Amino acid sequence: MLQVDLEDPQLKMQDTVIQQGQQLGRGPYTKRNCKIDKKLVDVIVNRCNELRKVSETTDLDVDWSTFDEYCLAGAEYKQAQSLEHAYVEYARAISFIMKGFRTLNQLSPSLSSD
């Protein structure tokens, strides 16, 4: 089993934080209104559930406990009908675990997307 220390300074990835409305690059850009509703939150919950199944079917050593904390926060917000906050927490869970997968892929060429 491959173990990765995500706190290792050599593995730190630079996150880009943008402000609402800030554009990166030359575009083209469009504007759309996007209302976060229960249906959209249910879609991201299903994606998180699919990702969580990876831990049951593989021996990838990523930080599932942090992923679960984000998902739990999302579930609590969803229960409280705070759908925007729920969506953000589930998105953080996906972003976090995908970063872990990418780190594993950089360390082990045997992990492929095939």
Q: Please, is 5 exposed, middle or buried when counting C-beta atoms within 10 Å of its C-beta (0-12, 13-18, 19+)?
A: exposed
Spatial contact of 48 and 96, defined as CB atoms under 8 Å apart: no
Residue with tokens 């209302």: 35
Q: Which residues pair with 61 in a beta bridge?
A: 3
Q: What is the CA radius of gyration of the chain?
A: 16
Domain ranges of the chain: 39-99
**pLDDT (mean) for 63-79:** 96
pLDDT tens digits, 4-55: 455 555 545 556 666 777 777 788 877 778 889 999 999 999 999 999 998 8
The band of 56, judged by pLDDT with boundaries at 50, 70 and 90, is confident
What the block records as the tokens of 43 is 């879609």
The band of 1, judged by pLDDT with boundaries at 50, 70 and 90, is very low
Give the number of other CB atoms < 10 A from CB of residue 8.
9
What the block records as the tokens of 100 is 């872990």
